[in-house]
Amino acid sequence: MIERYLLRYFLAVIDQGNFSRAAAHCHVSQPTLSTGIAKLEQMTGAALFMRNNQRVELTAAGTRLMNHARRIEREFNLAEQAVAKEPGGAPLRIGVLNSIAGDVIARAMVLTGLDTGIMVELLPGNERELLARLDSGRIDVALTLVRGDKSEAIIDDGYGVALSATHRLAGRDEIAAEELASDPMIVRRHCEALSATSRHFVACGVRPHFAFRSTNDERVMQMVAAGLGVTVMPMSYRWPGMARARLKDFELRRSIGLLYGARAENMSGEAAAIISAIAQALREAHAQGIRSEESP
């Protein structure tokens, strides 16, 4: 019989992309996780991963097992929720894309009044992590990038340059990458547009000095406002002392919306009010960004 922890190790390798991150995610050592995967391969009689120095990829057998493993893990989570004896019921678990501004979520919590009678858990993550958690039942709703028709889109957001309000180009509606050739760049390492941004600057012949790298957007905006460098981020982001402008010829956009798990498919009452408040706060932040862009 295949034990549940082996399937969790297996799914963690898929979701995290390699064995070391999967081990950290599962709170075990890498040798322990590797031994577990080897045991699972022995039990199934097939290699599940193709390994190299850069990444791991699923074999055909691994792909077949993945579909069953995700379904089993989801059923386990639903069973645990069904028998949970928590005061006030199970908490509403909301996954939030790392690159959504933190003040938007904070504003949403203010709009709900935090007096809803149910507990809320916010779990940040990148797009892949949130989809995996949603699929396995570890979160109820994901506020994330949405694609296709299986989602409830809230906003469509573009990207632009963020620079200090005292920068020589502050006040411009649009800035070309070439005009930033002499400026240090701050890298938002978690941004889903990072690769596209890098390609755009390289195509424009700009190879900036990187003054700071971070996955913390609030810290990035503090450094931008202080004049340490410039960066590219969604236009809905605002910070005191930070100016915004469109990045010329950079047309990439993103849609942010809601994806629902099984427990949240028929959400109503206080839980639905919290989700509506988050959507409203996101729309307001986006509208404020649009008004700022259109201001003379």
pLDDT digits (tens, 9 = 90+) for 221-233: 999 999 999 999 9
Q: Of residues 120 and 187, which shows the higher confidence score?
A: 187
Residues above pLDDT 90, as percent of the chain? 35
The predicted pLDDT at position 82 comes to: 58
Pick from 83, 106, 125: which residue ends a domain? 83
Task: Identify whether residues 121 and 51 lie together within a single domain.
Answer: no
Q: How far is it, in rounded angstroms, from Cα 181 to Cα 206?
A: 5
If you average pLDDT over residues 116-141, what whole number do you get? 82
Pick from 83, 116, 134: which residue ends a domain? 83
Task: Identify whether residues 146 and 292 lie together within a single domain.
Answer: yes
Task: Identify whether residues 224 and 292 lie together within a single domain.
Answer: yes
Task: Identify whether residues 128 and 51 lie together within a single domain.
Answer: no
* Distances from the Cα of 211 to the Cα of 227, 234, 242, angstroms: 11, 20, 17
pLDDT digits (tens, 9 = 90+) for 48-60: 998 776 678 899 9
Residues 6+ apart with CB under 8 A from 110: none
Closest CA to 56 of 5, 12, 26, 25: 12
User: What's the CATH code of the domain at 71?
Assistant: 1.10.10.10
Task: Identify whether residues 55 and 161 lie together within a single domain.
Answer: no
Task: Identify whether residues 61 and 136 lie together within a single domain.
Answer: no
pLDDT digits (tens, 9 = 90+) for 30-46: 888 899 999 999 999 99
Task: Identify whether residues 138 and 73 lie together within a single domain.
Answer: no
Q: Of residues 213 and 113, which shows the higher confidence score?
A: 213
User: What's the CATH code of the domain at 113?
Assistant: 3.40.190.290
Q: Hey, what are 212's tokens?
A: 């700071």
The reported pTM is 0.63
Which range is most confident: 28-32, 153-157, 165-169, 268-272?
165-169
Q: How far is it, in rounded angstroms, from Cα 109 to Cα 166?
A: 33
- Provide the pLDDT confidence category of residue 85 given band limits of 50, 70 and 90: very low
Task: Identify whether residues 45 and 127 lie together within a single domain.
Answer: no
Count of beta carbons in the 10 Å neighbourhood of residue 207: 11
Task: Identify whether residues 231 and 111 lie together within a single domain.
Answer: yes
The total domain count for the chain is 2
Task: Identify whether residues 203 and 95 lie together within a single domain.
Answer: yes
Task: Identify whether residues 33 and 170 lie together within a single domain.
Answer: no
Pick from 23, 50, 83: which residue ends a domain? 83
Q: What is the three-class DSSP state of 141? A: strand
Task: Identify whether residues 78 and 116 lie together within a single domain.
Answer: no
Q: Which range marks the domain in which residue 20 is found?
A: 4-83
